Amino acid sequence: MSPISQTTSKNIGFVATRFAGTDGVSLEAAKWAEVLSEGGHRCFWLAGELDKPPEISELVPEAHFQTTRNQDISRAVFGHKARPPAVTDAIHDLRHVLRKRLHNFIRRFDLDMLIVQNALTIPMQIPLGLALSEVIAETMIPTIAHHHDFYWERVRFSLNAVGDYLRMAFPPRLNNVEHVVINSTAQEDLAHRKGLSSVIIPNVLDFAHPPNSHVSCSSTLRESIGLGCDDIMILQPTRVVQRKGIEHAIELVKELKDPRCKLVISHAAGDEGYDYAEWLQEDARKRGVDLRFLEAPTTQASPPAHEVFRHLSLWDIYPHSDFITYPSLYEGFGNAFLEAVYFKKPLLINRYATFVKDIEPQGFDLVVMDGYLTGQNVRAVRAILDSPERRDAMVNHNYHVAMRHYSYGILRERLGSLMLNFFGIGN
Protein backbone atom coordinates (compact mmCIF):
# COMPACT_ATOMS: atom_id res chain seq x y z
CA MET A 1 0.00 0.00 0.00
CA SER A 2 1.26 3.50 -0.87
CA PRO A 3 2.05 5.69 2.18
CA ILE A 4 -0.37 8.27 0.86
CA SER A 5 -3.23 5.76 1.21
CA GLN A 6 -2.35 4.61 4.74
CA THR A 7 -4.20 7.46 6.44
CA THR A 8 -7.99 7.70 6.36
CA SER A 9 -9.51 10.04 3.79
CA LYS A 10 -8.75 13.69 4.59
CA ASN A 11 -10.14 17.02 3.44
CA ILE A 12 -7.12 18.99 2.23
CA GLY A 13 -7.14 22.71 1.47
CA PHE A 14 -4.70 24.20 -1.03
CA VAL A 15 -3.94 27.92 -0.55
CA ALA A 16 -2.04 30.32 -2.82
CA THR A 17 -2.32 33.73 -4.42
CA ARG A 18 -3.23 32.06 -7.74
CA PHE A 19 -4.25 28.62 -8.97
CA ALA A 20 -4.77 29.25 -12.67
CA GLY A 21 -2.84 29.03 -15.90
CA THR A 22 0.55 27.45 -16.48
CA ASP A 23 2.84 29.00 -13.88
CA GLY A 24 5.00 26.51 -11.99
CA VAL A 25 3.15 26.82 -8.68
CA SER A 26 -0.25 26.13 -10.24
CA LEU A 27 1.10 23.18 -12.22
CA GLU A 28 2.78 21.51 -9.25
CA ALA A 29 -0.23 22.05 -7.02
CA ALA A 30 -2.40 20.28 -9.60
CA LYS A 31 0.00 17.30 -9.62
CA TRP A 32 -0.07 17.10 -5.82
CA ALA A 33 -3.86 17.20 -5.86
CA GLU A 34 -3.98 14.45 -8.48
CA VAL A 35 -1.77 12.16 -6.38
CA LEU A 36 -3.71 12.93 -3.19
CA SER A 37 -7.05 12.31 -4.90
CA GLU A 38 -5.79 8.96 -6.20
CA GLY A 39 -4.94 8.15 -2.57
CA GLY A 40 -8.56 8.73 -1.53
CA HIS A 41 -8.29 12.29 -0.20
CA ARG A 42 -10.49 15.26 -1.13
CA CYS A 43 -8.90 18.52 -2.30
CA PHE A 44 -10.24 22.06 -2.01
CA TRP A 45 -8.84 25.39 -3.17
CA LEU A 46 -8.52 29.00 -2.03
CA ALA A 47 -6.77 31.72 -4.04
CA GLY A 48 -7.15 35.18 -5.51
CA GLU A 49 -7.50 33.67 -9.00
CA LEU A 50 -8.92 30.19 -9.59
CA ASP A 51 -9.72 27.84 -12.44
CA LYS A 52 -11.33 25.27 -10.12
CA PRO A 53 -15.06 24.40 -9.86
CA PRO A 54 -16.85 26.68 -7.35
CA GLU A 55 -18.25 23.74 -5.40
CA ILE A 56 -14.71 22.78 -4.27
CA SER A 57 -13.12 26.21 -4.11
CA GLU A 58 -13.24 29.61 -2.46
CA LEU A 59 -12.33 32.58 -4.63
CA VAL A 60 -10.87 35.42 -2.55
CA PRO A 61 -9.91 38.25 -4.94
CA GLU A 62 -8.11 40.11 -2.13
CA ALA A 63 -5.58 37.25 -1.95
CA HIS A 64 -4.20 37.90 -5.46
CA PHE A 65 -0.79 39.54 -5.72
CA GLN A 66 -1.84 41.82 -8.59
CA THR A 67 -4.64 43.74 -6.88
CA THR A 68 -4.17 47.51 -6.74
CA ARG A 69 -4.27 47.37 -2.96
CA ASN A 70 -1.52 44.76 -2.71
CA GLN A 71 0.67 46.37 -5.36
CA ASP A 72 0.48 49.70 -3.50
CA ILE A 73 1.73 47.89 -0.39
CA SER A 74 4.56 46.20 -2.28
CA ARG A 75 5.72 49.45 -3.87
CA ALA A 76 5.77 51.09 -0.45
CA VAL A 77 7.84 48.42 1.32
CA PHE A 78 10.30 47.07 -1.26
CA GLY A 79 13.21 49.27 -2.24
CA HIS A 80 12.79 51.26 1.00
CA LYS A 81 14.18 50.97 4.54
CA ALA A 82 11.35 52.67 6.43
CA ARG A 83 7.65 51.77 6.51
CA PRO A 84 5.12 54.56 7.02
CA PRO A 85 2.46 53.87 9.68
CA ALA A 86 -0.25 54.15 7.03
CA VAL A 87 1.31 51.24 5.12
CA THR A 88 1.43 49.17 8.31
CA ASP A 89 -2.27 49.91 8.81
CA ALA A 90 -3.03 48.90 5.20
CA ILE A 91 -1.16 45.61 5.65
CA HIS A 92 -3.07 44.75 8.82
CA ASP A 93 -6.43 45.81 7.41
CA LEU A 94 -5.96 43.37 4.52
CA ARG A 95 -4.50 40.71 6.83
CA HIS A 96 -7.66 40.90 8.93
CA VAL A 97 -9.90 40.41 5.86
CA LEU A 98 -7.85 37.44 4.64
CA ARG A 99 -7.67 35.87 8.09
CA LYS A 100 -11.47 35.75 8.28
CA ARG A 101 -11.71 34.25 4.79
CA LEU A 102 -9.17 31.54 5.69
CA HIS A 103 -11.12 30.59 8.81
CA ASN A 104 -14.30 30.42 6.70
CA PHE A 105 -12.51 28.20 4.17
CA ILE A 106 -11.43 25.75 6.88
CA ARG A 107 -14.96 25.60 8.35
CA ARG A 108 -16.80 25.43 5.02
CA PHE A 109 -14.95 22.35 3.81
CA ASP A 110 -14.22 20.85 7.24
CA LEU A 111 -10.51 20.78 6.41
CA ASP A 112 -8.10 18.39 8.11
CA MET A 113 -4.94 19.81 6.56
CA LEU A 114 -3.62 22.79 4.58
CA ILE A 115 -1.09 22.79 1.77
CA VAL A 116 0.20 26.32 1.24
CA GLN A 117 1.76 26.82 -2.16
CA ASN A 118 4.48 29.51 -2.06
CA ALA A 119 2.33 31.99 -0.11
CA LEU A 120 4.59 31.48 2.95
CA THR A 121 7.70 31.65 0.80
CA ILE A 122 7.89 34.69 -1.43
CA PRO A 123 6.39 37.97 -0.14
CA MET A 124 4.36 38.96 -3.16
CA GLN A 125 1.29 39.04 -0.90
CA ILE A 126 2.50 40.02 2.59
CA PRO A 127 -0.96 40.26 4.23
CA LEU A 128 -1.81 36.74 3.03
CA GLY A 129 1.39 35.32 4.52
CA LEU A 130 0.67 37.02 7.84
CA ALA A 131 -2.94 35.86 7.84
CA LEU A 132 -1.93 32.30 7.06
CA SER A 133 0.66 32.23 9.84
CA GLU A 134 -1.90 33.43 12.36
CA VAL A 135 -4.63 31.03 11.25
CA ILE A 136 -2.24 28.06 11.26
CA ALA A 137 -1.13 29.01 14.79
CA GLU A 138 -4.69 29.60 16.01
CA THR A 139 -6.16 26.38 14.66
CA MET A 140 -3.07 24.16 14.91
CA ILE A 141 -4.23 22.62 11.64
CA PRO A 142 -1.56 20.32 10.14
CA THR A 143 0.08 22.26 7.32
CA ILE A 144 2.55 21.54 4.55
CA ALA A 145 4.31 24.69 3.35
CA HIS A 146 5.48 24.01 -0.20
CA HIS A 147 8.28 26.46 -1.00
CA HIS A 148 9.16 27.17 -4.63
CA ASP A 149 11.36 30.28 -4.36
CA PHE A 150 12.35 32.20 -1.22
CA TYR A 151 12.53 35.98 -0.95
CA TRP A 152 16.27 35.91 -0.35
CA GLU A 153 16.72 34.39 -3.81
CA ARG A 154 15.35 37.54 -5.49
CA VAL A 155 17.33 40.78 -5.66
CA ARG A 156 14.19 42.90 -5.76
CA PHE A 157 13.28 41.87 -2.21
CA SER A 158 16.73 42.46 -0.70
CA LEU A 159 16.05 46.07 0.33
CA ASN A 160 12.79 46.17 2.24
CA ALA A 161 10.92 47.74 5.14
CA VAL A 162 9.20 44.53 6.26
CA GLY A 163 11.96 42.52 7.90
CA ASP A 164 9.71 41.91 10.90
CA TYR A 165 7.01 40.36 8.70
CA LEU A 166 9.50 38.32 6.69
CA ARG A 167 10.88 36.81 9.90
CA MET A 168 7.38 36.07 11.16
CA ALA A 169 5.72 34.53 8.12
CA PHE A 170 8.09 33.79 5.22
CA PRO A 171 8.16 31.05 6.33
CA PRO A 172 6.82 30.82 9.91
CA ARG A 173 8.35 28.68 12.64
CA LEU A 174 5.37 26.65 13.87
CA ASN A 175 5.27 23.12 15.26
CA ASN A 176 2.34 22.09 13.05
CA VAL A 177 4.05 23.06 9.78
CA GLU A 178 6.14 20.68 7.66
CA HIS A 179 8.33 22.43 5.11
CA VAL A 180 8.88 21.15 1.58
CA VAL A 181 11.47 22.59 -0.82
CA ILE A 182 12.20 21.73 -4.44
CA ASN A 183 16.01 21.64 -4.44
CA SER A 184 18.97 21.00 -2.16
CA THR A 185 20.21 24.59 -2.13
CA ALA A 186 16.85 25.77 -0.80
CA GLN A 187 16.99 23.06 1.86
CA GLU A 188 20.42 24.24 3.02
CA ASP A 189 19.43 27.92 2.95
CA LEU A 190 16.24 27.31 4.93
CA ALA A 191 18.20 25.46 7.62
CA HIS A 192 20.91 28.14 7.72
CA ARG A 193 18.68 31.22 7.66
CA LYS A 194 15.66 30.01 9.62
CA GLY A 195 16.85 26.94 11.51
CA LEU A 196 14.08 24.91 9.86
CA SER A 197 14.37 21.36 8.56
CA SER A 198 12.66 20.43 5.31
CA VAL A 199 11.98 17.63 2.86
CA ILE A 200 12.99 17.86 -0.81
CA ILE A 201 10.23 16.98 -3.25
CA PRO A 202 11.37 17.82 -6.77
CA ASN A 203 8.96 18.77 -9.49
CA VAL A 204 7.54 15.62 -11.06
CA LEU A 205 5.52 14.32 -14.01
CA ASP A 206 3.60 11.10 -14.62
CA PHE A 207 6.32 9.32 -16.57
CA ALA A 208 4.52 6.01 -16.08
CA HIS A 209 1.95 7.28 -18.60
CA PRO A 210 3.58 8.86 -21.69
CA PRO A 211 1.68 11.64 -23.46
CA ASN A 212 0.01 11.24 -26.82
CA SER A 213 2.34 13.51 -28.79
CA HIS A 214 1.55 12.39 -32.36
CA VAL A 215 0.27 15.44 -34.20
CA SER A 216 -0.23 16.50 -37.78
CA CYS A 217 2.12 19.12 -39.21
CA SER A 218 -0.94 20.83 -40.69
CA SER A 219 -2.55 21.27 -37.28
CA THR A 220 -4.78 24.20 -36.46
CA LEU A 221 -2.27 25.46 -33.91
CA ARG A 222 0.64 25.65 -36.35
CA GLU A 223 -1.55 27.16 -39.03
CA SER A 224 -2.90 29.75 -36.63
CA ILE A 225 0.58 31.14 -35.97
CA GLY A 226 1.60 30.94 -39.62
CA LEU A 227 3.82 27.85 -39.50
CA GLY A 228 3.97 25.44 -42.43
CA CYS A 229 4.99 21.79 -42.53
CA ASP A 230 8.55 22.68 -43.45
CA ASP A 231 9.00 25.21 -40.66
CA ILE A 232 10.97 24.32 -37.55
CA MET A 233 9.17 25.37 -34.38
CA ILE A 234 11.66 26.25 -31.66
CA LEU A 235 9.63 26.63 -28.48
CA GLN A 236 10.49 28.77 -25.45
CA PRO A 237 7.89 27.35 -23.01
CA THR A 238 8.17 29.97 -20.27
CA ARG A 239 6.75 33.22 -18.98
CA VAL A 240 8.31 36.37 -20.40
CA VAL A 241 10.47 37.42 -17.45
CA GLN A 242 14.11 38.44 -17.55
CA ARG A 243 15.49 35.49 -15.58
CA LYS A 244 14.35 33.16 -18.37
CA GLY A 245 17.24 34.39 -20.56
CA ILE A 246 15.10 34.42 -23.71
CA GLU A 247 17.67 36.59 -25.53
CA HIS A 248 19.86 33.46 -25.73
CA ALA A 249 17.08 31.66 -27.59
CA ILE A 250 16.93 34.55 -30.05
CA GLU A 251 20.70 34.33 -30.51
CA LEU A 252 20.47 30.58 -31.15
CA VAL A 253 17.86 30.99 -33.90
CA LYS A 254 19.97 33.74 -35.47
CA GLU A 255 23.10 31.55 -35.45
CA LEU A 256 21.27 28.55 -36.92
CA LYS A 257 20.91 30.64 -40.10
CA ASP A 258 17.92 28.64 -41.26
CA PRO A 259 14.86 30.60 -42.41
CA ARG A 260 12.66 27.63 -41.50
CA CYS A 261 13.41 28.19 -37.80
CA LYS A 262 10.72 30.17 -35.95
CA LEU A 263 11.01 31.05 -32.26
CA VAL A 264 7.68 30.70 -30.45
CA ILE A 265 7.16 31.90 -26.86
CA SER A 266 4.32 30.15 -25.10
CA HIS A 267 3.39 32.58 -22.31
CA ALA A 268 2.43 36.21 -21.92
CA ALA A 269 4.33 38.96 -20.16
CA GLY A 270 2.81 40.79 -17.22
CA ASP A 271 3.86 39.23 -13.91
CA GLU A 272 6.98 41.43 -13.84
CA GLY A 273 6.02 44.10 -16.37
CA TYR A 274 6.22 44.45 -20.15
CA ASP A 275 9.60 46.13 -20.76
CA TYR A 276 11.44 42.84 -21.25
CA ALA A 277 8.91 41.55 -23.81
CA GLU A 278 9.17 44.74 -25.81
CA TRP A 279 12.98 44.59 -25.67
CA LEU A 280 12.90 40.98 -26.91
CA GLN A 281 10.72 41.96 -29.86
CA GLU A 282 13.15 44.72 -30.81
CA ASP A 283 16.18 42.44 -30.34
CA ALA A 284 14.61 39.75 -32.56
CA ARG A 285 13.80 42.32 -35.23
CA LYS A 286 17.40 43.62 -35.27
CA ARG A 287 18.78 40.07 -35.51
CA GLY A 288 16.35 39.02 -38.22
CA VAL A 289 14.74 36.35 -36.05
CA ASP A 290 11.12 35.36 -36.62
CA LEU A 291 9.70 35.67 -33.09
CA ARG A 292 6.10 34.82 -32.30
CA PHE A 293 4.12 35.01 -29.06
CA LEU A 294 1.25 32.63 -28.42
CA GLU A 295 -0.15 35.21 -26.00
CA ALA A 296 -0.03 38.94 -26.63
CA PRO A 297 3.09 40.44 -24.97
CA THR A 298 1.72 43.95 -24.48
CA THR A 299 -0.84 45.62 -22.26
CA GLN A 300 -3.27 45.97 -25.17
CA ALA A 301 -6.40 43.94 -24.49
CA SER A 302 -7.36 42.00 -27.59
CA PRO A 303 -9.13 38.73 -28.39
CA PRO A 304 -7.04 35.69 -29.36
CA ALA A 305 -5.84 35.72 -32.96
CA HIS A 306 -7.55 32.38 -33.56
CA GLU A 307 -10.27 30.38 -31.79
CA VAL A 308 -7.66 27.73 -30.91
CA PHE A 309 -6.08 30.10 -28.39
CA ARG A 310 -9.22 30.40 -26.28
CA HIS A 311 -8.75 26.95 -24.74
CA LEU A 312 -5.03 26.46 -25.34
CA SER A 313 -2.84 24.85 -22.68
CA LEU A 314 0.91 24.48 -22.67
CA TRP A 315 0.53 20.74 -23.07
CA ASP A 316 -1.28 21.33 -26.36
CA ILE A 317 1.76 23.23 -27.62
CA TYR A 318 4.64 20.88 -26.78
CA PRO A 319 3.76 18.15 -29.30
CA HIS A 320 4.00 20.65 -32.17
CA SER A 321 7.52 21.81 -31.32
CA ASP A 322 10.74 20.53 -32.88
CA PHE A 323 13.20 21.83 -30.31
CA ILE A 324 12.97 23.45 -26.85
CA THR A 325 15.05 26.35 -25.57
CA TYR A 326 15.46 26.77 -21.81
CA PRO A 327 18.35 29.20 -21.22
CA SER A 328 17.18 30.34 -17.78
CA LEU A 329 19.56 32.28 -15.56
CA TYR A 330 17.82 31.02 -12.42
CA GLU A 331 15.16 28.41 -11.62
CA GLY A 332 13.95 26.89 -8.37
CA PHE A 333 13.72 23.59 -10.25
CA GLY A 334 12.64 23.85 -13.88
CA ASN A 335 9.20 22.67 -14.95
CA ALA A 336 9.86 23.38 -18.62
CA PHE A 337 12.92 21.14 -18.56
CA LEU A 338 10.91 18.24 -17.18
CA GLU A 339 8.04 18.85 -19.60
CA ALA A 340 10.40 18.83 -22.60
CA VAL A 341 11.76 15.48 -21.44
CA TYR A 342 8.21 14.15 -20.90
CA PHE A 343 7.17 15.09 -24.43
CA LYS A 344 10.42 13.63 -25.79
CA LYS A 345 11.73 16.89 -27.18
CA PRO A 346 15.43 17.75 -27.48
CA LEU A 347 16.47 20.89 -25.66
CA LEU A 348 19.11 23.49 -25.00
CA ILE A 349 19.53 24.36 -21.32
CA ASN A 350 21.65 26.83 -19.40
CA ARG A 351 23.58 25.57 -16.37
CA TYR A 352 21.60 27.45 -13.71
CA ALA A 353 22.55 26.60 -10.13
CA THR A 354 19.82 24.05 -9.36
CA PHE A 355 20.45 22.27 -12.65
CA VAL A 356 24.17 21.98 -11.86
CA LYS A 357 23.65 20.71 -8.32
CA ASP A 358 20.54 18.52 -8.52
CA ILE A 359 19.71 17.66 -12.16
CA GLU A 360 22.92 17.43 -14.17
CA PRO A 361 24.39 14.60 -12.03
CA GLN A 362 21.47 12.35 -13.04
CA GLY A 363 23.03 11.88 -16.50
CA PHE A 364 20.67 13.54 -18.99
CA ASP A 365 21.73 13.95 -22.64
CA LEU A 366 21.28 17.67 -23.40
CA VAL A 367 22.76 20.61 -25.25
CA VAL A 368 24.20 22.59 -22.35
CA MET A 369 25.36 26.21 -22.36
CA ASP A 370 27.26 27.72 -19.46
CA GLY A 371 26.04 31.31 -19.31
CA TYR A 372 26.58 32.06 -22.99
CA LEU A 373 25.93 30.41 -26.33
CA THR A 374 28.96 28.87 -28.07
CA GLY A 375 29.56 27.75 -31.62
CA GLN A 376 29.69 24.20 -30.30
CA ASN A 377 26.17 24.64 -28.87
CA VAL A 378 24.88 25.85 -32.23
CA ARG A 379 26.51 22.95 -34.09
CA ALA A 380 25.03 20.47 -31.59
CA VAL A 381 21.52 21.89 -32.08
CA ARG A 382 21.92 21.83 -35.85
CA ALA A 383 23.04 18.18 -35.71
CA ILE A 384 19.99 17.24 -33.67
CA LEU A 385 17.61 19.00 -36.04
CA ASP A 386 19.27 17.29 -39.03
CA SER A 387 19.39 13.76 -37.57
CA PRO A 388 16.21 11.91 -36.50
CA GLU A 389 18.40 9.08 -35.18
CA ARG A 390 20.40 11.37 -32.88
CA ARG A 391 17.21 13.06 -31.72
CA ASP A 392 15.42 9.79 -30.93
CA ALA A 393 18.39 8.39 -28.99
CA MET A 394 18.64 11.60 -26.98
CA VAL A 395 14.98 11.95 -26.02
CA ASN A 396 14.45 8.26 -25.20
CA HIS A 397 17.50 8.23 -22.92
CA ASN A 398 16.26 11.35 -21.13
CA TYR A 399 12.78 9.91 -20.65
CA HIS A 400 14.15 6.82 -18.88
CA VAL A 401 16.41 8.91 -16.62
CA ALA A 402 13.49 11.14 -15.63
CA MET A 403 11.27 8.12 -14.98
CA ARG A 404 13.75 6.97 -12.32
CA HIS A 405 14.16 10.32 -10.57
CA TYR A 406 11.14 12.60 -11.26
CA SER A 407 8.06 10.39 -11.47
CA TYR A 408 4.81 10.51 -9.53
CA GLY A 409 6.13 7.64 -7.45
CA ILE A 410 8.65 9.99 -5.81
CA LEU A 411 5.89 12.47 -4.95
CA ARG A 412 3.57 9.74 -3.71
CA GLU A 413 6.20 8.32 -1.35
CA ARG A 414 7.42 11.61 0.15
CA LEU A 415 4.01 13.25 0.44
CA GLY A 416 2.67 10.09 2.03
CA SER A 417 5.47 10.13 4.61
CA LEU A 418 4.61 13.71 5.57
CA MET A 419 0.96 12.78 6.06
CA LEU A 420 1.95 9.83 8.23
CA ASN A 421 3.94 12.24 10.40
CA PHE A 422 0.74 14.22 10.99
CA PHE A 423 -1.90 11.52 11.19
CA GLY A 424 -0.21 8.15 11.62
CA ILE A 425 -1.41 4.93 9.97
CA GLY A 426 -5.18 4.52 9.71
CA ASN A 427 -6.01 7.89 11.30
Spans of all domains in the chain: 3-204+408-423, 220-405
Domain 220-405 annotated CATH 3.40.50.1010? no
What gap in Å lies between CA 332 and CA 147, rounded to an integer? Answer: 9
pLDDT at 300 over 60: no
pLDDT at 22 over 60: yes
Is there a contact between 137 and 161 (Cβ–Cβ < 8 Å)?
A: no
> Does 171 sit behind a cis peptide bond, omega within 30 degrees of 0 on the bond before it?
yes
pLDDT at 310 over 50: no
Task: For domain 3-204+408-423, give the CATH number.
Answer: 3.40.50.2000
* pTM for the structure as a whole: 0.83
Tens digit of pLDDT for each residue in 233-269? 999 998 888 999 999 999 999 999 999 999 999 876 6
Q: How would residue 351 be classed by pLDDT, with cut points 50, 70 and 90?
A: very high
Give the model's pLDDT for residue 295.
66
What gap in Å lies between CA 294 and CA 304, rounded to an integer? Answer: 9
pLDDT at 301 over 50: no
What residues form DSSP beta bridges with 115?
14, 144
**How many Å separate Cα 403 from the centre of its chain?**
20
**How many Å separate Cα 220 from the centre of its chain?**
27
What gap in Å lies between CA 256 and CA 348, rounded to an integer? Answer: 13
Average pLDDT over all residues of the chain: 91
Tens digit of pLDDT for each residue in 360-401? 999 999 999 999 999 999 999 999 999 999 999 999 999 999
**How many Å separate Cα 253 from the centre of its chain?**
26
Q: Residue 286, SS3?
A: helix
